[in-house]
Amino acid sequence: MFASFALFVVFLGSATGAEDCNPKAVIKTWQTHSPCARREGLGVRIGHGYNINLPHANGDFAVLGIDPIDIRKGVIMQGPGECHCTQSFCLTPEQSERLFQINVDRAQKQILSLIRSISSPMPCCDIQNSLTALTFTFGIDFIKRVPDALSHINNGQWQKLGTALLMQNWCTVTDHCSPLAERIMNGCSDVADNLGCSPPTPKACDPAGQYCCAANNTCCRYSVSQSIRNQAYWCCPLNGAVCCLSSNSCCPKQYPVCCGNTNSCCLVKYPVCCFPGTSQAYCCAASSPVCLGARHCGSLDPNVKPVLGKVNKANQHQPEIVH
C-alpha cells in the first residue's frame, strides 16, 4: 500500500508540472494580433493568430456566437495593414482573448495527450510550450504527420524531432516554426524559464531569447521593409501596447488604432485617422469617416451634418534596439 501511494504522488507531481507550463507568452511572441481576418503563411488568421481554416474553427466561433460566414464574406486582408471593420468582420478584444484561450487549451491538451504516454521522463516546459505553440498554429495533425514524430516523442528524442520538423516545407515557409523547432532540438539542458533574457531586460521577445525588453515594455516586431540593423524586434516603452508594423511605432492600449505609417493613434470608437502625423491630427467615427478639416468629420450621406472628431492621441515612442 505504501508503494502504491508513493507511485501516486510521483504521477500526480508530474501531471501538475505539465499543467503548470504556460505556453501563452511563447505563442503571442509570434502571433501578431489582428481583429480582422488576414491571409498569412498557410492560412487565414484572425485575433491572436487563430487559423480559421482549422477543422474545429466553426465550433469555436459558435461558442462565441459568431457566424463564420460573416468572417469569410468580409474583406480578407492581404499581409500587414490596418483593419477596416466596415468592410471586414472584426472581433472585439474580448472575443479575441476567448478565442485565443480556447485554442491554447485545445493545443495544450493535445500535446499533453501525446507526452503523458511516453516512456521517457516528462519534458521540461520549454519543449512542451514549443510543441503547444506549433500545434496552436498548424494543428496537431501537422505534428503527427512529421516522419517518425510520434516515435521521437515517445523516446524523448527531442533533437531528432526538431531536425525532422525543420525538414518540413510547412515549417520552413513561416518565420516562427524554425526557432521553435530549434528550441525543441536544444532539449531541456540549461534552458532558463526566462528564455535567455535577464534583468534589466527579462522579457523575451522571441522563443530563443535573442531579443529582450524590460518587464514593463512591449516587444514589437519590425516590418520586413523597415527592419533596422537586421533586428527582428524593438522595445515599446509602454506595457500592453499595440505595435504598429507600418510605422515601427506603438500605440497605448487606450488608443489602439494605428494611423498608417505615422506615429499617431486613435480610439476604437474613432478609428478613422485624419491628417495623421501632423499637428492637425484628429480621429473620426466610422459613421462619419470623411475628414473635413478643423476637427470636423463628415458622413457619406450628404444629409447628415458634420460632427466634431476626437483629438488624435499622438505617439512619439521611437524604436529602441534590443539585443
Q: How confident is the model at residue 170 (pLDDT cuts 50, 70, 90)?
A: confident
The one-letter code for the residue type at 247 is S
Q: Are residue 182 and residue 266 in the same domain, yes or no?
A: no
Q: Are residue 54 and residue 183 in the same domain, yes or no?
A: yes
Does position 78 have pLDDT exceeding 70, yes or no?
yes
Q: Are residue 46 and residue 174 in the same domain, yes or no?
A: yes
| Cβ 88 vs Cβ 37: under 8 Å | yes
Q: Is residue 221 situated within a structural domain? A: no
DSSP 226: G
Question: Which of 140, 167, 196 is the last residue before a domain boundary?
Answer: 196
Q: Are residue 30 and residue 167 in the same domain, yes or no?
A: yes
| Cβ 276 vs Cβ 259: under 8 Å | yes
* More confidently predicted of 239 and 29: 239
Report the DSSP beta bridge partners of residue 249. Answer: 244
Segments forming the whole domain that contains residue 299:
262-314
Mean per-residue pLDDT, 235-248: 83
Express each pLDDT in 196-216 by its tens digit: 677 777 888 876 677 788 888
Q: Are residue 269 and residue 173 in the same domain, yes or no?
A: no
Global pTM?
0.53
Question: Which of 152, 169, 196 is the last residue before a domain boundary?
Answer: 196
* More confidently predicted of 38 and 323: 38
Chain-centre distance for alpha carbon 174 = 14
Q: Are residue 189 and residue 284 in the same domain, yes or no?
A: no
Structural domain count of the chain: 2
How far apart CA 228 and CA 319 sit, in angstroms, is 9
Q: Is residue 286 situated within a structural domain? A: yes
| SS3 state at 165 | helix
Helix (H) or strand (E) holding 77: strand 77-78
Range in 98-102, 167-171, 239-243, 311-315 the model is least confident about: 311-315
Query: How confident is the prediction for the chain on average, in pLDDT?
Result: 78
Q: Are residue 147 and residue 42 in the same domain, yes or no?
A: yes
The one-letter code for the residue type at 66 is I
Q: Is residue 59 situated within a structural domain? A: yes
Crossing angle of helices 177-186 and 158-166, rounded to 10°:
160
Mean per-residue pLDDT, 59-67: 90
Q: Are residue 35 and residue 176 in the same domain, yes or no?
A: yes
How far apart CA 321 and CA 211 sit, in angstroms, is 9
Q: Are residue 184 and residue 281 in the same domain, yes or no?
A: no
Report the DSSP beta bridge partners of residue 45. Answer: 38, 51
34 contacts: CB under 8 Å, gap ≥ 6? 45, 46, 47, 77, 83
Q: Is residue 321 situated within a structural domain? A: no
Q: Are residue 57 and residue 170 in the same domain, yes or no?
A: yes
| SS3 state at 221 | strand
Query: Domain holding 72: CATH number?
Result: 1.10.530.40
Question: Which of 161, 196, 231 is the last residue before a domain boundary?
Answer: 196
Chain-centre distance for alpha carbon 175 = 13
Q: Are residue 42 and residue 171 in the same domain, yes or no?
A: yes
Chain-centre distance for alpha carbon 308 = 35
Q: Are residue 60 and residue 183 in the same domain, yes or no?
A: yes
* More confidently predicted of 14 and 285: 285
